[in-house]
Structure 1
Amino acid sequence: MTTTTITPILAQWFEYMDSDDPDRVLGMIADDFVMSVQFSKGAGQSAEFVGDRAGLIGYLEQREKSVLVHHIDIGVTADGCEMVLGRTTRAGEFEASFTATAQVNGAGRVRRLLIARTPEVSFA
């Protein structure tokens, strides 16, 4: 994973997601966590994963482990939120672009998470 120091929570999140043990992100979420992951496979095929902790567990259960690498290309932190633009690669090749926004509480836990990804748009 390419990291950035300007968005330490999301950098850690994607480092965990890229590992053999992505369930470690469960230790990063707040009690009032809510998420939405908009996941496009391209050609108009997409799915949305939503919910609280249980929704995140469901998302983690269905995804491939240790296959994709997240690269954060641009990141910014403002008003308790971290926002990134990045890309995922598979075996070193572009797979998709993604954006992620996380609202972080005072304890450094993720309260809100919104992720969108698509293979249809590359920022390269």
Structure 2
Amino acid sequence: MTSPTPTLERWFDTMDSTDPDRVLDMIADDFAMSVQFSRGSGQSTEFVGDRAGLIAYLEQREKSTLVHHIMVGATVDDTELVLGQTTRDGVFEASFNATAQLTDNGLVRRLLICRTPEIDFA
């Protein structure tokens, strides 16, 4: 079965691996991102920037602890959109939305990820 969002599927598979830095090979030269990361109860952090911002995000992130599960996704023109959830040891941790705008050759040009433990779409 072919994924409707192959780039985001590969992105999150890479992020869940023991070598998440490989996502740096998936970004365009003019990459820009924002990751809105809620811990719940109004406690949140935003990670923003270009390649250097993604590197900073990767450096502070736990490796190989969370698993991303894409529940539904769609591609519209050059943009992939997904709704999913993360689990830790098989237990729900948070819901997330991700939107990736792609270049003509499939690199991620823009990335917006929002996550919260406050809502479970399951």
**Matching residue's letter, 1:56:** L
Which whole-Å deviations, capped at 9, do the CAs of 1:69-95 have from their partners, x for residues lacking one?
000000000010000000000000000
1:97 corresponds to: 95
Report the Cα distance in structure 2 between the residues aligned to 1:24 and 1:107, rounded to whole angstroms: 17
Query: How much does 1:10 deviate?
Result: 0.1
Report the Cα distance in structure 2 between the residues aligned to 1:37 and 1:79, rounded to whole angstroms: 22
Report the Cα distance in structure 2 between the residues aligned to 1:90 and 1:59, rounded to whole angstroms: 19
Query: How much does 1:22 deviate?
Result: 0.2
Which whole-Å deviations, capped at 9, do the CAs of 1:34-68 have from their partners, x for residues lacking one?
00000000011000000000000000000000000
Report the Cα distance in structure 1 between the residues aligned to 2:106 and 2:76, rounded to whole angstroms: 14
Identity among equivalent pairs (%): 71
C-alpha RMSD over aligned residues: 1.1
Where does 1:1-124 land on structure 2 (aligned, <5 Å)? 5-124=3-122
Report the Cα distance in structure 2 between the residues aligned to 1:59 and 1:48, rounded to whole angstroms: 10
- TM-score for both structures, normalised by structure 1: 0.97
- TM-score for both structures, normalised by structure 2: 0.98
The answer to whether the 8 Å contact 1:4/1:75 transfers is no
Helix, strand or coil for the counterpart of 2:111? strand
Query: How much does 1:4 deviate?
Result: 6.4
Report the Cα distance in structure 1 between the residues aligned to 2:12 and 2:82, rounded to whole angstroms: 11
Report the Cα distance in structure 2 between the residues aligned to 1:22 and 1:11, rounded to whole angstroms: 13
Helix, strand or coil for the counterpart of 2:120? coil
Q: Mark the runs of 5 or more structure 2 residues left unpaired by the alignment.
A: none
Report the Cα distance in structure 2 between the residues aligned to 1:31 and 1:107, rounded to whole angstroms: 12
